[in-house]
A and B are shown apart, each in its own frame.
Chain A
Amino acid sequence: MTGPRLVSILRQGSHLIASVHTALDDTQMTAFQHDLVDRIGRDRSRGVVIDVAALDVLDSFATRTLRTIAEVARLRGAVTVVVGIQPDVAFAMVSLGMDTGALHTALDLEEGLALLDRIAGGRRPAVGARGGPA
């Protein structure tokens, strides 16, 4: 992604931390997906945290994109955790009827990284990831 910093992707150990800084349109969202998936492959990341705390809407397209990222990342051997979904956004997502069952989620970055550690520790993620793919 070029131009103003809409998103940032930082490496921390074997994890990637991707933060979305502002509302993205569908094209930007798709570009973000490609960039992130590329980085996962290049860095051989084991875990990805996507921080969406700055987003005031997660509509069907954004949610689908997050699911796609998680699925592609999984195929490349990385676990994805989406963090920072705000209460009103979460409410709107379920009201909309989004199926988010396959997404790992956590409250914030700290919790997301803790969850990745638990998963990497070989334990089934007991909390915050129920219903997710094994």
Chain B
Amino acid sequence: MTGYRGQGTTTGGPGGLDGLDGLEGLAEDQLLPQLVAHLREHRARLRHEWADRIQLAGLLHAMTPQEMAAETTSVYDNYVEVLETGSVEALQRYARDLSERIIPRGVETHEVVGIVLLLRDVLARSLFEKYQRDFGLLNRVLDAYEPAANRIANTVAVSFVEERERVIRQQQDSIRELSTPVLPVRERLLILPIIGVLDRERARQLTEQLLNGIRTHRARVVVIDITGVPEVDESVANHLVQTVDASRLMGASVIITGLSPVIAQTLVTIGVDLSKMDTIGDLQGGLEEAERLLGYPTAGGDDGTAP
């Protein structure tokens, strides 16, 4: 923190400065309340300064100016409150609130830690400006402020990381569930739209769900739409081949849709056996093919559905 002590060039902040000169005679445990009073008094100016610093550092760019104003105000007030009470519970609550509020906006860990450190420094600088005329007092003030400020920064960082992991886990779980719905669209026909990355474990869950779905719905045709799978490489293709084979063992034909011709070409080139896979460009085409297989009108068959 020596940096702050060395760069005080402005002389005092606006207003209220003279009235606090009596700090000299205060006991240590009176210092923090006085600081808090100071931070409250200059809330608008300091919050503004802080927001400028955040912008300058390129943090929280995912937020609109309005969100930024609302969040910084809220964070500022909480910060000062924690500083005032020194309560660990309040601090943790504050950190958790902060995390819960900003994680869904895609804020990264380094950003949240960054803004809290910036706030710490903005406030420290204001204290420096205020007390720079009395070096002894300045030292005492900063000695009271810094440990409390660092504690807030640490707690926020830890809490944020924990909360973020929890949210990510939750999201992964819900994505898992949401992205593998086995949808019966009409008699004997299932659609399985896959969204997201297809790794070994997920391929397994998906295949199990599909196989059980085939039995439950007595499906004869399944359309697996992989438009939502970001990257179709060799391993994804091999998972799909297994899913197709297993479905077939249960008597259901599988049509894969959403596999672009370019990717299909690439897969064949690297040796993936797509010969057993019935691939059709888009979902609509896949459904038409499925209905043809099931003997619905266009197919012209009379035995499409079992008795």
Residues of A within 8 A of B (CB): 83, 85, 87-91, 93-95, 100-101, 103, 105-108, 110-112, 114-115, 117-118, 121, 123, 126-128, 130-131
Contacts and interface: CB of A to CB of B under 8 A. Distances in A.
Contact of A130 (B204, B218, B248, B299): B248
B301 A128 contact: no
Interface of B: 204, 207-208, 211-212, 214-215, 218, 220-221, 242, 245-253, 276, 278, 293-295, 299, 301, 303, 306-307
Contacts of B301: 123
A93 B249 CA distance: 9
A110 B212 contact: no
Give the residue among A108, A111, A115, A123 with the most B Cβ atoms within 10 A: A111
B211 to A, nearest CB: 4
B158 to A, nearest CB: 42
Nearest to A99: B245
B294 A127 contact: yes
Contacts of B242: 94-95
B251 A121 contact: no
Contacts of A101: 245, 276
Given A105-B250, A107-B214, A107-B218, A91 B208 contact: yes
Given A87-B211, A100-B245, 8 more contacts: A87-B246, A88-B211, A90-B250, A93-B246, A105-B248, A107-B214, A110-B306, A117-B303
25 contacts: A85-B250, A87-B211, A87-B212, A90-B211, A91-B207, A91-B211, A93-B246, A94-B249, A95-B242, A100-B245, A100-B248, A105-B248, A105-B250, A105-B251, A106-B251, A108-B251, A114-B303, A115-B251, A118-B303, A121-B303, A127-B293, A128-B248, A130-B248, A130-B278, A131-B248
Contacts of A118: 303
Contacts of B214: 87, 107
